[in-house]
Amino acid sequence: MLRRDFLAGSSLAMGISAAAVGSAAPLRAAKNILDYGAAPDGKTLCTTALQRAIDEVFRAGGGLVYAPPGNYLVGGLELKSRVTLYLEAGCTLLGSPNLDDYTYRPGLPRGGSDIDGYHVIYARGAEDIALCGLGTVDGQGENWWEPNPLRPAAMPEDEWHDVASGHFQAKYNNTRPSPMVEIVECRNVRLSGITLRNSAGWTLRPIGCETVVIDGVRIRNPYWGRNTDGMDITACRNVFVSNCDILGGDDGICLKSENQYGDSVPASKNITITNCVVASASNGFKMGTATRGAFENIVFSNSVLYADDDSPMMNRVIGGINVETVDGGSVDGVVISNIRMQNVRAPIFVRLGSRTPGRNSFVRNVLIEGVDAVGSIVTSSITGVPGLRPTDVTISDCRLRTVAGGTAEWAGRAIPEVADKYPESWMMGRLPAYGFYARHADRVRLRNLEIITDKPDGRPAIVCDDVNDVILSGLELSKPAGDAPLIQLKDTQRAYLNTMRSPQGNKLFVQVSGAASSGIALRGNLLNPGEQTVSRTSGAPDDAASVE
C-alpha cells in the first residue's frame, strides 16, 4: 500500500497530528504492517511481520507503525525506542493461545506466579515509545483459565468476602502471558486511546519507568479472571493517568513498589491519577502489594468506583481506597479527593503491617477528602500493628452510607492482629464499629464526616483502640441500635472531640475504657436531654476524660 493511500484511509488523515497519537515521530517513516506480510484473518501468526515493521522504523531513527482494521494473531511484540505502534479503530491484536508462540523475556520467573516472562507486548530500556489509537489488544484470556473444582459456592453468611475470581484457576501450572503489556525501565512512555481486554493475567505494567502517560485507555477483563489487574504501576516516577475506564476481576489501579528486574527498588514517586472509572471484583485504587520500597507524592482524584445495584456481591469492589504497606516499605505524602463510590464493600482501608518486616517501614501524611460512598458493608479502618503505627492520617469532608446491619456481637469481638497476613479490608473480620475503626495509630484526624446506617446497626460509629493524638470534629453519625455508645475510646490518649451533634435518641455519647486512656477532652458538643456524656469502664482512670 502506498503511503498516500495509507494516510488517506486512516484517522491520521482526519487532522490527528503525530503528537495526538502519542509520538513526535515523523509521519514520513510510517509503515503499514500489511506491507510486511501481516494477515488480518485472526488465524495466521503475524508476530514476525509486525516485529519487522517495528525494527525497520527503529533502525530508521523512529516513526510510526500502522496497524489497519483486522484481526492479527501475535505471540509477543517488542517495542523499540522512538517507535509508535498505532492501532486503527477496528484493529485487534490477538494474543496467541499457544505459549510456544511467545519469546521468554529474562528477568521474571516461568510459571507459578502472578507474573511471568511472557507478554503480548513488551519493551525494555527503550525511550520515546507509544502504543495508541482506537484499536484493541486482546489476550484471549479464556484460553488460560478453568473453573476451580475446589472452590464451592459461598454460603449466604460468607458472601460479603467472596470473590468471583476465586472460582477459577490458571491452567498450565500458572504459566501464561502476564502482564499482557509489560513496559520495563523505559523513559517517555505514552499509551492512549486503546482497549486492552481479556488478559490472561495482569493487564498493563510499567515497571521502573520514568515519565509515563496513560490517557483514555479502556480495560475490559471478566470478573472471574483471576489476577487480571487493570494497571500495576510499579516503581515508576512521574506518572500521569487520566480518563481511563477499567473493568476486571482483580485490582483496578494498583501501585506497587518492587523490582523483579534488579536488586534495587526505585521509589514509586510523583504519580497522579484522575478522571477514571473502575469496576472490579477486587480493589479499586490500591497501593500494594508488594510494598518493598517507597511511595511518595501520590494523588488520586475525581474518579468513580462502582458496582451496579444488581451486581452479585462477589463481583463488587472489595476496597475502594487502599493505602497500605506490609513488606518493609514506606508511604509518605498521599492526597485522595473527590471520589464517588457505589456498592463498594469497604470505602477506606489504611494499613501498616509486617508481612515482610523492614527497618524503616511507615505510613504518614495521608489526606483523604471528599469521598461519597453508598452501599458499603465493610467498615473503613486505619490500623497498624504493635511497633508499626501509621501517623498523620486525615479523613475529612466525606459522606459514608453503610448497609452492613451489624450486631452487638460484632461490637464485642476480639479483633486479631493478623500482622503478617496479606492486607485486605476484611482481613480482621467484622469490626466493632460501623463507621471507622482505628488501632495502633498516631495523629488521626476525622473531620466533617457524615456516616449513616441505612439498616439498624448495633455497633458504635467510631472505635479507637490504642490511638494516640486523635481529633474527632464535626461528625454527623447515626444512632447505634441498642445500648452501644456512639463513640468508643479504648486505651486512647490525647483525644479531642468537638463540635459534634449526638443523633436523636442516643443514650451514651462516649465510652472510655482501658487503663492507658488519658488526656481525652470533649468540647462544644450538642447532646440529647438526659444523654450520658462519658462512661468509664474496664479500668479507665477517673480523670481520663474531661467535659466542657
Contacts of 254 (CB under 8 A, 6+ apart): 229, 230, 231, 232, 233, 283, 286, 287, 288
Share above pLDDT 70 across residues of the chain, in percent, rounded to a whole number: 95
The per-residue pLDDT for 29 is 53
Residue 297 φ then ψ, to 5°: 60, 70
Cα distance between residue 54 and residue 84, in whole Å: 9
Cα distance between residue 76 and residue 270, in whole Å: 30
C-alpha cell at 446: 476525622
Domain boundaries, the chain: 283-548
Handedness of CA 85, 86, 88, 89 (dihedral sign): positive
Adjacent-strand bridge partners of 138: 94, 197
Cβ count near 306 (within 10 Å): 22
Cα distance between residue 71 and residue 41, in whole Å: 6
Mean predicted confidence (pLDDT) in 327-344: 97
Cβ count near 5 (within 10 Å): 10
pLDDT digits (tens, 9 = 90+) for 209-258: 999 999 999 999 999 988 999 999 999 999 999 999 999 999 999 999 99
Place 288 in a pLDDT band, splitting at 50, 70 and 90: confident
Cα distance between residue 206 and residue 211, in whole Å: 10
User: Strand 493-498 relative to strand 532-537: parallel, antiparallel, unpaired?
Assistant: unpaired
Q: What is the pTM of this model?
A: 0.94
Please check the confidence at residue 452 and state whether its pLDDT lies above 80: yes
pLDDT digits (tens, 9 = 90+) for 40-85: 999 999 999 999 999 999 999 999 999 999 999 999 999 999 999 9
Residue type, position 261, single letter: Y
CB 247 within 8 A of CB 275: no
The average confidence (pLDDT) of the chain is: 93
Adjacent-strand bridge partners of 330: 294, 362
Place 357 in a pLDDT band, splitting at 50, 70 and 90: confident
Residue 402 φ then ψ, to 5°: -115, 145
Cα distance between residue 256 and residue 288, in whole Å: 5
Please check the confidence at residue 16 and state whether its pLDDT lies above 80: no
How open is the CA angle 346-348-349, to the nearest 5 degrees? 95
Please check the confidence at residue 26 and state whether its pLDDT lies above 50: no
C-alpha cell at 108: 521474571
The per-residue pLDDT for 1 is 39
CB 488 within 8 A of CB 460: yes
Mapping DSSP onto H, E and C, the string for 116-139 reads: CCCCCEEEECCEEEEEEECCEEEC
Mean predicted confidence (pLDDT) in 377-384: 98
Of 109, 55, 102, 61, the C-alpha closest to 80 is 55
- When mean pLDDT is compared across 12-21, 105-114, 179-188, 469-478, the lowest value belongs to 12-21
Place of cell 503525530: 18
Cβ count near 413 (within 10 Å): 14
Region of 281 on the Ramachandran plot (φ > 0 left; ψ -120 to 50 alpha; else beta): alpha
The per-residue pLDDT for 15 is 35
pLDDT digits (tens, 9 = 90+) for 386-432: 999 999 999 999 999 999 999 999 999 999 999 999 999 999 999 99
Residue 158 φ then ψ, to 5°: -110, 0
Mean predicted confidence (pLDDT) in 333-346: 98
How open is the CA angle 136-207-23, to the nearest 5 degrees? 50
Please check the confidence at residue 14 and state whether its pLDDT lies above 50: no
Adjacent-strand bridge partners of 368: 336, 395
Mean predicted confidence (pLDDT) in 510-533: 98
Classify residue 381 as exposed, middle or buried by CB count within 10 Å of its CB (0-12, 13-18, 19+). buried
pLDDT greater at residue 44 or residue 16? 44
- When mean pLDDT is compared across 37-51, 353-367, 467-481, 511-525, the lowest value belongs to 353-367
Please check the confidence at residue 488 and state whether its pLDDT lies above 60: yes
CB 84 within 8 A of CB 58: no
Place 20 in a pLDDT band, splitting at 50, 70 and 90: very low
Place 7 in a pLDDT band, splitting at 50, 70 and 90: very low
